[in-house]
Amino acid sequence: MIKFTKVFKAYPKGGLALKDATFHIAKGEFAFLTGHSGAGKSTILKLIYAEERATEGEVRVSGFNLADLPPRQVPYLRRRLGIVFQDFRLLEDRTAEENVGFALQVTGARRAGIEARVMRVLTQVGLAAKAPAYPRELSGGEQQRVAIARALVNEPTVLLADEPTGNLDERATRGVFQLLRDINASGTAVVMATHDLDLVRQAPYRVIELQDGALVYDSSVDEPRGEQAAP
């Protein structure tokens, strides 16, 4: 599903953001990416959705070899992924329903089916009643649910979440996390970057820990560690 083999990523001015990363995330798996800010979590996610290209090494996602993926193929890769960010990235001048529908419209989906599909995912994230609301009329947790609905509406095989609970209070965090777990339970792989260790401890999922761009711990390979080991 997602396979990194000896991946390096150097930014022109920022030095090495990722050093020799090798890991494999299987279909339907739930994996946390943890580590301090700047450890390389976001870089891994960006490499997965081809926002950045690896300087060295091989990245394979859903059958695409990203090293030689022509730019015009990137949209087709992204249609197989759902992406969620800390800052939600919703369009302020569109309702929840329109924000979700937007993801279908831009992929050229037929108009006839859009409304039904949008309502189905909004129901799935528990926001059917808020469909006509604008982002400013929604709480942070609700906005993140809209963003998750938008990520889900194209029925991705992988959901990438970059600090999805970073802007949320504890209650909203629990809700959003539970939603991600439910999504995973229905078969979608989830890769979630977070530095919220409480969340990480709550669930028996795989943990990949990064430090200064290097992969320092992978719970699927390494011995289990005590709670104090994770930063």
Partner 1 sequence: MNFVMREAMLTFRRAPLLSALSVTTIAFSLFVVGLFALVAVNVQRALSQVAERAEVVAYVLPGTPIETITHALKDIEAFPEVTTASYVSEDSALARARRELVELQGPLRELERNPLPASIEVTLKPADRDADHVGAVADRIRDFSFVDDVRYGRDWIEKLDKLRSVLAAVGLAVGIAFAAVAVIIIGATIRMTVLQRGREISIMRLVGATDWFVRFPFLLQGIIKGAAGGLLAVGLSYAAYLVSNRWLMMRTEFFNPEQAAAIVAGGMIIGLFGSWISVGRQLRKV
Binding site for partner 1 (CB under 8 A): 49, 71-72, 75-79, 83, 89, 91, 102-103, 105-108, 111, 150, 154
Question: Tokens 């859903």 appear where?
Answer: 62
CB of 154 to partner 1, least distance (A): 7
CB closer to partner 1 out of 17 and 45: 45
Helix (H, G, I), strand (E, B) or coil at 60: strand
CB closer to partner 1 out of 91 and 129: 91
CB closer to partner 1 out of 107 and 178: 107
CB of 153 to partner 1, least distance (A): 9
Quick one: which of 160, 147, 228, 145 has its CA closest to 194? 160
The DSSP bridge pattern shows strands 2-11 and 15-25 to be: antiparallel
CB of 61 to partner 1, least distance (A): 13
CB closer to partner 1 out of 30 and 49: 49
CB of 78 to partner 1, least distance (A): 4
Judge whether 199 and 173 are in contact, CB under 8 Å. yes
Can you say how many angstroms the Cα of residue 137 is from the centroid of all Cα atoms in its chain? Answer: 24
CB closer to partner 1 out of 61 and 199: 61
CB of 89 to partner 1, least distance (A): 6
Strand order in 2-11's β-sheet? Answer: 64-65, 56-61, 2-11, 15-25, 214-218, 206-211, 30-34, 189-193, 158-162, 81-85
